């Protein structure tokens, strides 16, 4: 599994995708990603989610620096 990356989050019982950031991964017994995102009510959420609830953001990721 990869490291930190931007993703679209599809938590259970939510009809829309929200931008999120994967902070880390664990395997217990299946792979899960620790993801931070802002929910539809504007609250910051930090959850362990399965990979099927995530979709990578397409395109070049920008680091905010002049080099990337």
- Strands 31-38 and 54-56, bridge-based pairing: unpaired
Of 11, 52, 5, 9, which Cα lies nearest the Cα of 24?
5
Q: Which domains does the chain have, with CATH numbers?
A: 5-56 (2.30.30)
Provide the pLDDT confidence category of residue 68 given band limits of 50, 70 and 90: very low
- Say yes or no to pLDDT of 5 above 80: yes
pLDDT, tens digit (0-9, with 9 covering 90-100), for 20-66: 999 999 998 999 999 999 888 889 999 999 999 999 998 655 555 55
Q: What is the pLDDT of residue 63?
A: 54
- Say yes or no to pLDDT of 1 above 90: no
Of 53, 48, 50, which Cα lies nearest the Cα of 13?
53
């Amino acid at each position: 599994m990869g490291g930190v990356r931007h993703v679209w989050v599809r938590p259970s019982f939510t009809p829309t995708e929200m931008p999120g950031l994967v902070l880390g991964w664990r395997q217990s017994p299946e792979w899960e990603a620790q993801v931070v995102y802002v929910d539809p009510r504007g609250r910051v959420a930090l959850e362990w989610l399965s990979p099927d609830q995530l979709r990578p953001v397409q395109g070049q990721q920008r680091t905010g620096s002049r080099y990337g």
